[in-house]
Structure 1
């Protein structure tokens, strides 16, 4: 009985370690040539650090839909924010507007890790 408990405990430890390793892995986001990187944070947040080459289209500006509509619907877009909340909202709006290739890269740090694009300041 003791051996069974030890074996089960060892198995549980292996399963837990494997699960934790899978959770900590940052998914990769491919950045095709010509993709537009969009930071949907405020201009002040953008100035504090953004992905190199990203454009700033503030989701909270009150004119996000009008500003984003200036982009071609058939372009490739990677969207991020501070934590992933605003980027998810922006992706939903863009999809509703007819954009066909939009990826939510989450928060700025996650987006940098997933795309390999460094965070820079102007």
Structure 2
């Protein structure tokens, strides 16, 4: 897992043709806004979170975020433990996000 600053995350994402943005917040949090083109899987689903991760393409690069960066860090650790090589955590999370937001 790599922790990326907001700027590093945006720069790396912009130049990554194999990228998937993963939002691990709750549905209620997502309703308040999200990074465009992100896929939401709530980390609080427990085993179902892992089951959903298992359906994803492990050859992709995953840019993971939550509200503050804590849950997404945990999600990256889980992803690494089940065979994802490239999971990047957004430091500071969505509350510090200055990029585009969808609603």
Task: State TM-score, norm by structure 1.
Answer: 0.70
Aligned-CA RMSD value: 1.6
Structure 1 position 28 matched with structure 2 position 13: no
Specify the alignment match of 1:120 in structure 2: 102
Higher helix share: 1
Specify the alignment match of 1:50 in structure 2: 34
Q: Is the partner of 2:90 in helix, strand or coil?
A: strand
Specify the alignment match of 2:57 in structure 1: 72
Q: In the aligned structure 1, how far is the partner of 2:23 from the partner of 2:90? A: 10
Structure 1 position 100 matched with structure 2 position 85: yes
State the 4+ residue runs in structure 1 displaced beyond 6 angstroms: none
| Structure number with bigger Rg | 1
Task: State TM-score, norm by structure 2.
Answer: 0.82
Give the gaps of 5 or more residues in structure 1. 1-24
The count of residues paired between Structure 1 and Structure 2 equals: 93
Report the CA distance between 1:27 and its aligned residue: 3.7
TM-aligned CA distance change 1:103 to 1:42, over 3 Å: same
